[in-house]
Amino acid sequence: GAEVVFSVDCTKLKEHFSPGKWEFDRIYFNFPHCGRKAGVGKNRQLLARFFHSCSEVLAQEGEIHVALCNGQGGTPADRPRRDWHNSWQIVALAAGAGFVLSDVHPFKAETIDGYKCTGYRSQDKSFCVEGALNHVFTRSTAPLCLTPVSCTTQLGSQKVSFQVPQVLADKINRGFLEVNSSHPVRTIKEELSAGLSQAFPLQNISSCLPLLHQGHPDGVCHSSIFWITLSPGEAPSTEETPQGLAKAVLFSPFGQDTDKNVQEGCSIPKQFYLRPSLLPDAQAIIKERAFSPGTLQVLSGPVFRKYRITPHSMPVFHELLVVLAVSRGTENTCIQMLVANIQTTLNSLHQGVSGVKPSISLQEATSFGAELNDFAAFERQLGEIQHFLCVRTDPDPPGSCVGVIRTAPEELKSRELVVVSASLNLDLLAMLLCGISDWRMLWTWDRRFLRQFPEGELRLFKTFSLYPPSYVHDVSFWVPDGEEFDEVAFHTLARRVSGETVISIQLRDNFQQPGTGRRSLCYRVTFQCCDRALGCREAAEMQLRFREEIQQHLGVTLR
């Protein structure tokens, strides 16, 4: 029942197969070549046009199989691997047409019934297929076209709306912790809560926590916060703000008196920002005495922070905060119980994740220095820390800080009770337990991610985008005279303009001009996407927009 068609131009498939009538589940192209002694450049052009042609006739869940001789593809799967500039750069060419490399395996002609390798124009002399590889490509999700997003939240006694910062537009209200979610962060949160409930009475109070806080967080760098302007006419009045303080939270470092921010006669600042932590919400609960000593209060939800760009530094993550009031003198015992309980839960979780065995360690805050990761460094700004919680997964010997533990002897103004809190970064835990190397994968819109965790079951993650291409661009500029350059703002602009496709920003040169003292900086910006296709043209366009944005918003002069 098969139909055989001859003289098909692989670069014009829709001319032979009408897109409305034909939709292929598989398209095979074994050892493409322009013929004769065509150079690498012409064969790249052939592949690029072939992939664009496939996009018009391939089914949504279809696959493209391309077999290449050993070394031609230019991927780490080739043995030996050619220099990138001397290869066919197949992954980058496919990305330009909206495809990602989802699998690569040895090409075995003997397994294909009736297949015969004949060489050029069916000559008896065949070419060598030893070490040849079959590359399997699938459709990528389309680039996000982000439009302005408005969000409504409770602030004091009224609901207010605000425009979400563009860099967070695709991450607000994703519902990863909702009841019907199968996302790994929810699985970890639920398992940790269930484990803690075996050792402590537990109260979950996460449903009504406000997204916005008010004022300015003491000790936190101004440029690390997502500042928010409320929609016109919606700022709460000065009179009603103090009464709604538990909802429109004022920030104080954990363990300090929040009443200092609300002294009689002092004006309430009308600055608002997306919550960088759930600690102020815990403080509000403690201040109202809305808890029972010995009962573990569990708060959870997304928090928002501006970080420099790294694979483990995320502008939004899900925090799990547990707070407990215990008798003075028993806080160390309580901390040990908490840590032991978390370790037991992590051990039970790893049983279903083959190859990953986590171990948790409690380390004194004084023993940590410059090696703090971004999460731990920011937590240190929020208030004094007694211990860092570090998780190590083989073969990751140093371990990674995923949580902090604090004690606040003065928080309750009680001689008998002390407040103990533990804050955990659920996203970092999910990455460590599931073997996810890039935080952006947790936020992908590609359905293939969640399919790997049916009904919330934790498994070792297998990427659906192998060897994504990277594109390197440099940008140089003069810094405004007499001003300190805000590198966090620079990274945040890169996140926004690129839609989180910048994976690395490195300072390459810091030059000061003799005589004038003018300062010039040169940064190397690397574009790479872990979950969708990113072509060289798209990356180049982003780089141009990035240059325009830093000139407009940071006041630099491009070189």
pLDDT digits (tens, 9 = 90+) for 19-41: 777 899 999 999 998 877 778 89
CATH assignment of 150-456? 3.30.930.10
The rounded mean pLDDT for the chain is 86
Across 34-55, average pLDDT: 90
337's enclosing H/E stretch is helix 331-350
Tokens of 327: 């008798």
Tokens of 394: 């083989």
CA distance 296 to 203: 6
> Is the pLDDT reported for residue 239 higher than 60?
no
pLDDT of residue 261: 45
- Min mean pLDDT across 56-65, 107-116, 143-152, 238-247 is at 238-247
> Is the pLDDT reported for residue 221 higher than 50?
yes
- Min mean pLDDT across 13-22, 121-130, 318-327, 450-459 is at 121-130
Q: What pLDDT band is residue 263 in, cutting at 50, 70 and 90?
A: very low
**What is the length of the chain?**
559
Q: Which CATH class is domain 471-558?
A: alpha beta
CA distance 524 to 409: 47
Residue 274: closest CA among 424, 153, 170: 153
> Is the pLDDT reported for residue 121 higher than 90?
no
Q: Which residue has the higher pLDDT, 292 or 108?
A: 108
CA distance 502 to 488: 14
| Residues 6 or more apart in contact with residue 535 via CB below 8 angstroms | 92, 95, 96, 97
Q: What is the C-alpha end-to-end distance of the chain, expressed in Å? A: 64
Dihedral of alpha carbons 103, 108, 109, 111, sign: negative
> Is the pLDDT reported for residue 80 higher than 50?
yes
pLDDT digits (tens, 9 = 90+) for 133-167: 999 999 999 888 778 888 888 777 788 889 999 99
> Is the pLDDT reported for residue 240 higher than 90?
no
Residue 325: closest CA among 423, 422, 204, 420: 420
pLDDT digits (tens, 9 = 90+) for 287-334: 776 667 888 999 999 999 999 999 889 999 999 999 988 888 888 888
Q: Which residue has the higher pLDDT, 71 or 241?
A: 71
Across 456-482, average pLDDT: 93
> Is the pLDDT reported for residue 458 higher than 60?
yes
Sheet holding 316-327, edge to edge: 202-204, 296-304, 316-327, 417-425, 400-408, 387-393, 358-364
Q: Phi/psi class of residue 98: alpha, beta or left (left: φ > 0; alpha: ψ in -120 to 50)?
A: left
Instruction: Provide the 3-class DSSP secondary structure of residue 54.
Output: helix
> Is the pLDDT reported for residue 3 higher than 80?
yes
Spatial contact of 346 and 433, defined as CB atoms under 8 Å apart: yes
Q: Which residue has the higher pLDDT, 66 or 411?
A: 66
Torsion, Cα 444 445 449 451, to 10 degrees, reads 160
In the chain, the amino acid numbered 156 is: G
Q: What pLDDT band is residue 395 in, cutting at 50, 70 and 90?
A: low
Spatial contact of 441 and 518, defined as CB atoms under 8 Å apart: no
Chain-centre distance for alpha carbon 239? 40
Cβ-based neighbour number of residue 5 at 10 Å:
7
Q: What pLDDT band is residue 190 in, cutting at 50, 70 and 90?
A: very high
Spatial contact of 251 and 217, defined as CB atoms under 8 Å apart: yes
- DSSP tag of 291: S
Chain-centre distance for alpha carbon 423? 19
Tokens of 378: 């920011």
Which residue do the tokens 């006669």 mark?
A: 265
CA distance 506 to 231: 37
pLDDT of residue 218: 79
The whole model's pTM is what? 0.89
pLDDT digits (tens, 9 = 90+) for 335-374: 899 989 988 888 888 766 666 677 788 888 877 655 678 8
> Is the pLDDT reported for residue 423 higher than 70?
yes
pLDDT of residue 517: 86
Instruction: Provide the 3-class DSSP secondary structure of residue 520.
Output: strand
CA distance 450 to 184: 8
Treating both helix axes as pointing N-terminal to C-terminal, what angle do 184-197 and 331-350 enclose, rounded to 10 degrees? 130
- Min mean pLDDT across 145-159, 344-358, 441-455, 512-526 is at 344-358
> Is the pLDDT reported for residue 245 higher than 70?
no
What does each C-alpha distance from 500 to 315, 438, 495, 497, 534 come to in angstroms?
Answer: 10, 11, 5, 8, 11
**φ, ψ for residue 315, nearest 5 deg:** -75, -10
pLDDT digits (tens, 9 = 90+) for 196-206: 999 888 888 87
pLDDT of residue 147: 83
Which fold does the domain 13-139 belong to in CATH? Rossmann fold (3.40.50)
CA distance 453 to 450: 5
pLDDT of residue 316: 96
- The full set of domain ranges for the chain reads 13-139, 150-456, 471-558
